[in-house]
Structure formats: structure tokens, C-alpha cells
Structure 1
Amino acid sequence: MNRTASPSKPALAVAALLAAGVVACAEPAAQQSSNTPVAASSAPAPSSSAPPDPAAVGANELGQVPVLMYHRLVAQPSSVYDRTPEAFRAELERLVAEDYVPVTTLEYATGRIEIPAGKHPVVLTFDDGDPTQFALDASGQPAPGTAVAILLDVAAKHPGFRPVASMYVNAAPFGSADGSGVLPWLRDHGFEIGNHTQYHTNLSSVSAEEAQRAITEGQREIQRAVPDYPVKSLALPFGAIPRDPVLAMRGGADGMSYDYACVLLVGSNPAPSPFAADFDPLNTPRIRSQDATGEDAAFGSAVWLDKLAANPAQRYTSDGVPDRISYPSTAGVVPAPQHAARAVAY
């Protein structure tokens, strides 16, 4: 049941129209080899000297953030949602070269984007809990060739590129019976575990009661494997929003409740800054990872990363000061009222 059916073009169009811009907060992970556990550690602290000049680093903390969406890694893709391990590694290397730093969905959605001045946040999200994304070998380490192992390897070669991602799972995540043998490793190594419903339910096609039950069953499945784990975001199966959209974020069934910080759509375009007035945690767009050609390539990561590279003033660029929100007065974007007191235009 944890195999995602490819969303239709109409679903992508709906996601694009709804786009307004994501699980336990993960601290940055220490850089080690892909065969060595990576322990969570604190983000680099700003220098004790004068804070960076926002203009000098081109800070724009009201800029756009790419939230990238991945599914399977396979040698022979059979769907536009598949990527080869080589293509995944190449995309990570591109992100390194273009000064992106991974943050988790929750860090993004709650504005805990504590990355160095001049760097750009990127959110890596994985749907369906597929074994090609993550598995443990006989020694208890990420299996070679899986997405997590590749991410750890790239991060080890490029200190500062945080090996964190948000993993959205269904029943029997990563090919395990119940997740107890794999989800604790993710939790302990700074990865975020998010809800994708237990049986990949199309939430727009069921009643309000059934939608809430599908979401709570997914959360219960996670928390059986990692008790008391604070699941804080949902990736919508098929990008399908419940008939009452608020139920994607808050609700409950069978004695369990949920209250999420962010709800992820399927894919279309970059997300807004969490500090911007147009940020909507209930409708957070993602970008499907794919090459510059193929089905709906205009919605894919290669095209969007090209656009952001060609228009750097549009993307989120950190000022290196966690408690300050810097942006150019010419950005054409305004801060949300709740963030206005910390926002500084230059």
C-alpha cells in the first residue's frame, strides 16, 4: 500500500493554483561517512563579531524556498516520479554548488532556518516510505545506494551541507513490518518523520470522518514505532485536499488528535518564505525532482533551479542572524504581520 500512484496533470494544476508558498524538529547533523551514524548537533552559531551586512550577502529572507519532492530511486525509471541514484546524487551536488543547505519541513514552516549568511534553504521530502529511499544493512547502517546513504555521502564530502530530510511514510515504511526497525534510526539521526496516511488515502474522495481517521491511523502507525514522537506535518497523497481543508491540519479520530504545522501539496513551484505574508501552511507547494525534459518538465526541479539561479534575488537568502528577517526594500514581498517587528528592509 505504500506505493504512490502518480498524480494526474489536473492534480498538478490544482497544486499550482493552490500553492501559497511541512515533523519533528531536527538539529543539524555532524558530517561523517555514509557508513557512519550521523548524530544530531547544533547549527553553526553566528560569529561573536558584528552581524553580517544584509546588503553585502544579498539577504532576502522573504524569498522563495524550493521544497523538493522525491519518490523512488531506480536504475530504470518507469514514471516521471522515479529518479536514478545517479540523477539524485547529481541534484544534491548541484544544490551544494549553488549554496543550498537542507532544512526539515518543520524548520522551514516554523521559521527555524538557521543557516549561514548568503546560503539558501532547501527542503528535501520523500513520499511513500519506499525501500529505495532508506533501508538498513546487516551492520545497522543505511544501505548503499539508498537515498539516505547518498545524502550522507554527499554531506560528508561537503561540510555545511546538512544531511537532513523529511520522510513521509505509509504503513510498513521502507519495507519493514511496522517501522520499529527503521524509524528510530531516522529519528536519532536528525531526519524528520511525517505522515502520508496509513494507506495512501485520497482525502478528497472520503467523508470528513474518514479523512480524519486516515490521518490519525498514519500518525498512530508512526508513533507505535517511535513512541511519543511529535508528528508535525502531512504530505497529501495524490496532492488531494480534504473537502474541509482544515482537516488536513487539525482533527482527530478514535481517541487520537493531530495538529500539524504544515501540509504539503504534490508539486508545481517554489514555496514562499515562512515569514512572507503569502505563506499558507495549509497549502505548501513542492517541486517534483526531475530533469529538464519529460512530462510536465516546467514543474520539475531542473527547470525551477535554473530559474532561481537566473533570478537570485527571488530566492530566500539568509542574513546569518536567526532573530532578524532581512530583505531588500525592492523585493516586492511584505512580511506577515506577526513577523513585522523582526523584519528589516535595506
Structure 2
Amino acid sequence: MIDGRAVPPLHKLAGVLIVLAVVVGLVAPDAGRPGPAEAKPAAAPGGTAAPSTPSAAPVAGRSGAGGSATAAPAPSGTAPAPVIGAASAVARQVKANELGQIPVLMYHRITAETTASLDRTPKQLREELTRLAEEGYVPITAADFARGWIDVPAGRHPVVLTFDDGTPGHFALDERGVPAADTAVGVLLEVARRYPGFRPVATFYVNADPFQLGDRAADGLRWLQRNGFEIGNHTFTHADLSTLSKAGVQREIARDEAQIVALTGVHTSTLAYPFGSRPDRDSWARHKEGEYSFRGIFLAGWRPSVSPFHEDFDPEAIMRIRSEGKIRENDCRRYCSQAWLEWLRENPGERYVSDGDPGTVAFPADVSGDLAGGYRGYGRSY
């Protein structure tokens, strides 16, 4: 007896505490997905750096970065699966939809004189980036997109800017050691100065002799990395991987990876297929022990990507949009960047809208069924 009250048996008290602990664990807010991982390369055979293990949040039915499909683990014991929580007032106010579509724009040469259909002039690039800035888009890297770390202000929309082939029009250092004005990097920096909320961030997929910098390549690539840009793998010789054997695919990717590691000291996180051509097996490109390992692999697709939190997201086949106006060629009137950006503007319910919190996934209740199972604990509906 304590103050005339009976003390409950200890085994009953313990049972109550266990139940309370389970309830708190289910309803308490999640700690959030891990932030951008610091590059900490480890020694590997041959003197190169070994790829680190991806640390992205789990996605049901997928393994690792671009892993092959597997069955989602069943809940242990009788504990229910994680539940979707309530969205914040901010998410409701901005009508957040983090299951919406995200444009991943694909650029090739940036040049004053266009000679191929994929070429864009600095003026055309400047106009497209200005449009993105004015329509509330915020660039993120391909790696952050693939790992599900989308840290943009509430009410804004992520966009991924990707540049293939590592040409001098993407990046060049002038005599002062700063990016040349009419390169892709120079234009990005210019637009970011005019629109402070528009980050000068992009991913450059390089081949042999990146940007044709020669003996300045190490300085150039490290400048890009220090300033928030990402370097990605695009194979050493821009090979059509659909025509190669497993050994050929892995040799092309590994040679490019070894070059990048030698120049920067770190491994890449993402790969873009030259020509958008996939090898016979995606697993050949996704990972090779001690050589490379990718969080995401990008195609040369024709439409915006689904959200990385959507149940249909496939990290081995991420869609991109060709940067181009509404022209007849390749049906760009429907499927290139100008047409898709117009469509997303006219269909705001289909576009990704951030809740401002990278540790949650907010969306309208009527699309809750589209959330990938592994993200239910991060889900917040309204």
C-alpha cells in the first residue's frame, strides 16, 4: 500500500509500459530520412576508392540504389505497418504534393552555333532557366533526387538539370580560373544571381577527358564539386551499352569511374545511359564490386519522372525530358521541355509541390495509395 492505494502487480505494470512504448513508437514523428551523405571513399584493390553503400531511406520492393525488385519484408510479430500521419499546416497551405511529377531536363551541347537537333544556345538555355526560376522551380542534383532527399522551400518545385557528354560548352575555366560566361555553368550562375532562390546546381555526365580540360581536369571537376555541382558517369567512350556483353558494359563504366575517382577522389552516385540504351541486364550497370555502385540510372526518356516516393518509381530507369521548344522533330511539340513545362503549369495537381520539410512526404489524402510502402512512416496526408 502507498497512501492507502493498492500497488498493481509488477507484471501488469510492465505490460502497460510495453503497450505505451509501442503506441508512442507508432505515432511519434519520424526522425526523417538521412541527409546528403558525405563522400568518404575507402581504399580498394588497385588503389582506387571503393563505392560507399547507399544510405537512402528504404523503399518497399527495392534494394539499395537502383536495386532489383524484391518482396517487401512482412511486419514482424503482430505490430501493424507504419501509418501515414497528418500533414502540417504549411503543407496544407501550399497544397503540397510530394508524390507529383518532377521534370528531369536533359541537355547536350551548349554552343553559339547549333548544328545538331540536341544543341542549345546559351540564349536558349538562359531563357529556359529563367522560366524555371520564375515558375518556382529549384534545382537539385540527380543524386539527391535518386536518394529521396528533396530539400526545397515549401510551395516550390524541384527540377533536375542534367548535361550529357562533358563538352566545353558545359564548363570551362577562363584565365582567372572562374567559369566562362556562356558555358552552362556560367549561365546557371548568372540566372541564380538574378533569382536568389534558384540554386546554381546541375549534374554533369562525363566521358573520357571531361570538358576537354586536359591537365586542368582535376582542378575543374573539384571546382564543380566544391560549388554544389555533381559529376556523374556516362561511360568512358560514350558506348551504346545495348550492344555490349556484360564484360564490355562493366569495362566502359568502370573505366569512366576510375578516371573520375582519380581526378576528384570520390565515386559518382548516378549513371546516365548514352543514347538512353540499356544493357541486356540493368544489374551489369548498377553495381560492380569494388568498382562502382549507383543510386539511380537515368534514361533519355520523353516525360517527367514520377516522384522517388511514388510506388511506380524505378531507380534503374529514371525518365528525362529533352530540352527543346515545341517543334515538329521527334514530336517535341508534345514531348520536349517547353511542352511538358506548359503541361505541368496547366495541371498543377500533377506537379511535385514541396512541403518544405525533406524529412516528410506530404500529399493529398486521395493519392495516399500511390505512396511506396517503405515510405509510409514518412507519409503525411491532408
Tell me the TM-score normalised to structure 1 length.
0.83
| Equivalent residues of 2:137, 2:159 under 8 A apart | yes
> Residue 53 of structure 1 aligns to a residue in which SS?
helix
Structure 1 position 51, deviation (Å): 5.3
Which of the pair has more CA radius of gyration?
2
Residues 267-309 of structure 1, C-alpha deviation per residue, up to 9 Å, x if partnerless?
2000011111111000001000001114120221000000000
Alpha-carbon contact 1:168-1:235 (below 8 Å) kept? yes
Q: What is residue 224 of structure 1 aligned with on the other side?
A: 262
Asked if 1:280 corresponds to 2:314, the answer is: yes
Compute the displacement of 1:218 (Å): 0.7
Identity fraction in percent: 45
What is the aligned partner in structure 2 of residue 139 from structure 1? 176
How many pairs align? Answer: 297
Q: For the residues of structure 2 that align with 1:25 and 1:141, how far apart are their CA atoms?
A: 26
1:209 is displaced (CA, Å) by 0.8
**Aligned counterparts, 1:329-340, within 5 A:** 329-331=365-367, 334-340=370-376
The CA RMSD measured in Å over matched residues stands at: 1.8
Out of 186, 189, 195, the position equivalent to 2:224 is 186
State the match for 1:130 in structure 2: 167
Q: Which residue of 1 aligns with 2:191?
A: 154
**Aligned 8 A contact 1:26 1:191 in 2:** no
For 1:278 and 1:64, the matched residues in 2 are separated by 11
Asked if residue 121 in structure 1 is aligned to residue 155 in structure 2, the reply is no
SS in 1 for 2:109: coil
How big is the shift at 1:189? 0.7
Once the two structures are TM-superposed, the CA of residue 343 in structure 1 deviates from its matched residue by: 0.6
Checking the alignment, whether the CA contact within 8 Å between 1:26 and 1:164 is kept in structure 2 is no
Q: For residues 288 and 245 of structure 2, what CA distance do their matches in structure 1 show?
A: 13
Per the alignment, in what secondary structure is the counterpart of residue 228 of structure 2? coil
8 Å Cα contact 1:51/1:320 also seen in 2:
no
Give the gaps of 5 or more residues in structure 1: 1-23, 28-49
AA partner of residue 109 (structure 2) = R
2:320 matched to 1:292?
Answer: no
SS in structure 2 of the partner of residue 69 of structure 1:
strand
For residue 25 of structure 1, report the CA deviation from its aligned partner.
5.2
Letter in 1 for 2:254: T
| CA contact 2:260–2:267 (8 Å) conserved in 1 | no
| 1:249 to 2:249 alignment | no
Query: What letter is aligned with 1:327?
Result: F
* Separation of aligned partners in 1, 2:114 and 2:89: 44
State the AA in 1 paired with 2:303: N
Q: Deviations along 1:21-80, whole A, 9 cap, x unmatched?
A: xxx9599xxxxxxxxxxxxxxxxxxxxxx9543221010000000000001112232222
User: Do the aligned residues in 2 keep the contact of 1:166 with 1:192 (CA within 8 Å)?
Assistant: yes
In the alignment, does 2:362 pair up with 1:301? no
Q: 4+ residue runs of structure 1 moved beyond 3 angstroms?
A: 24-27
TM-score scaled by length of structure 2: 0.75
Partners in 1 of 2:279 and 2:147 — Cα distance?
23
Shift of 1:230: 2.6
Residue 285 of structure 1 aligns to a residue whose secondary structure is coil
For residues 206-253 of structure 1, give each alpha carbon's deviation from its aligned partner in whole angstroms, at most 9, with x where no partner exists: 1001101110001011111112x131110101111111111221125x
Q: Does 1:324 align with 2:363?
A: no
The structural deviation recorded for 1:333 is 5.4
Structure-to-structure mapping, 1:78-93, within 5 angstroms: 78-93=115-130
Paired amino acid for 1:149:
G
| Segment of structure 1 superposing worse, 97-106 or 292-301 | 292-301
Q: Name the CA shift for 1:144/1:26 in 2 (closer, same or farther; >3 Å).
A: farther
**Retained in 2: the 8 A contact 1:248–1:282?**
no
Q: Is the 8 A contact 1:267 1:299 kept in 2?
A: no
- How far apart are 1:341 and its partner, in Å? 1.0
Give the equivalent residue in structure 1 for 2:381.
Answer: 345
Q: Secondary structure at the match of 1:180?
A: helix
Match of 1:212 in 2: 250
Map of 1:196 onto structure 2: 234
More helix, by proportion? 2
Partners of 2:211 and 2:291 lie apart in 1 by 25
Q: 1:181 Cα shift?
A: 3.3
The one-letter code matched in structure 2 to 1:315 is R
The Cα of 1:180 is off from its aligned counterpart by 1.6
Q: Which runs of 5+ in 2 are unaligned?
A: 1-34, 39-86
Is 1:26–1:107's contact at 8 Å kept on the other side of the alignment? no
Counterparts in 2 of 1:282 and 1:214: CA distance versus 1, 3 Å:
same
Letter paired with 2:246: A
